[in-house]
Amino acid sequence: RLHDAAWINWSFNEFGWLPDNDTLWFLSEESGYSHLYTQRAGAAPRQLTRGEWEVSQPHVSADGSRMLFVCNREWPGDYEVCDAPLAGGEVRELTALDGVESYTLAPQGDDLLVHWSSSYVPPQLAVVPAAGGQARRLTDTRTTDYRAYDFIQPQFVQVPSQHGAGSIWGKLYTPETMEPGRRYPIVMFVHGAGYLQNTSANYPNYFREQLFHNVLVDAGYIVLDLDYRGSAGYGRDWRTAIYRNMGHPELEDYLEGIDWLVAEHQGDRDNVGIYGGSYGGFMTFMAMFRAPEAFEAGAALRPVTDWTAYNHEYTSNILNTPDIDPEAYDRSSPIEYAEGLQGHLLIAHGMMDNNVFFQDSVRLSQRLIELRKDNWEMAAYPLERHGFVESDAWFDEYRRIYKLFERALKD
């Protein structure tokens, strides 16, 4: 029976039978990280993989002697296809692509069809021998103009934590050459979904935002995108650090990110902005309301303002349900902290949003009116759902964010 004092992960729950039809293989976070186990009837489980890294997408090899899987052994954002002998032995990396998305074992078992990507290379296809070896890259869907563009490469960084969290992995975007003695305004980006990994060598879920970060750096900002506590890719304790306490550990991580940028990368503590969508919008509110001394400006996009009104299939894992744990919902809902707003705030929301309903932003706006708060604005998008579709809406939203930061963060 699976047990977790917080909640059972909806990922890492694959299982199946080995060719002997008598041995079960399965994934478990029992060790603190997703790892492979085998178990025969009446026997204790036997752990095949171990370490501070995660196993996903397991498959039995064609000859039944090995388990193939994706793992991030080198660092949390470096995903490769790996294997391990079912009889026990060393884990091997079969690919050297850095950004494996998924793979398929060929019917004869000799090759792997691998879906891979990198920071500015959208997902592509390659064939790799199932025993490991040189990849034969089959596709490159980038245009000539795209390949020629000089993008700002993210630096994969570790922000030290004073809250017992260990290192907080992130992506840092800066000018190639920093001017000595200059302090740069800071923009913090907060990825959505909560349980998602954005600091990886893969093509990001937030590719539009990555391009926007290029624009911001060209305009004189430095940008930090963190995999805050609650993000995917870092094991069970990192995932469950937000149990009954959403928005609080994550904010600690971002405040430590500011300290690190000021100490190590010429960041300007007096000019810090933050933005993000969905969970990132929720966190923008938490930052602006609960740490107003740290954040001068924020843009909350399609944001959750009160978790009691959100999908309980999501929140019941993390906060239980409002009827049995109202304290967790009050503690985790930005609308309860709206009185703390001091800086410049932009709220942007699609009126047809079928994930985070538009009512969240309406209720928060009414609360700010009642509190007689100044320096906030709201942009409503009549034709957009949770993920914008129309290019005009994307352009309008990001122009507003840019103008907000230009107005508030540049003295």
The identity of residue 174, as a single letter, is T
Decide if 348 contacts 358 (C-beta within 8 A): no
Give strand pairing partners of 377: 346
CATH architecture assigned to 150-409: 3-Layer(aba) Sandwich (3.40)
pLDDT (tens digit per residue) in 24-66: 999 999 999 999 999 998 899 999 999 999 999 999 999 999 9
The identity of residue 303, as a single letter, is P
pLDDT (tens digit per residue) in 270-316: 999 999 999 999 999 999 999 999 999 999 999 999 999 999 999 99
The CATH fold assigned to 15-137 is Neuraminidase (2.120.10)
- Average pLDDT, integer, range 329-337: 98
- Average pLDDT, integer, range 319-331: 97
Decide if 159 contacts 253 (C-beta within 8 A): yes
Decide if 32 contacts 234 (C-beta within 8 A): no
Tokens 């500015």, residue located = 120
Q: What percent of the chain has pLDDT over 70?
A: 100
Nearest CA to 147 among 126, 176, 118? 118
What pLDDT was estimated at residue 1?
67
Decide if 397 contacts 179 (C-beta within 8 A): no
Domain-wise residue ranges, the chain: 15-137, 150-409
Lowest mean pLDDT of 18-22, 28-32, 41-45, 163-167, name the range: 163-167
pLDDT (tens digit per residue) in 209-237: 999 999 999 999 999 999 999 999 999 99
Same topology for domains 15-137 and 150-409, yes or no?
no
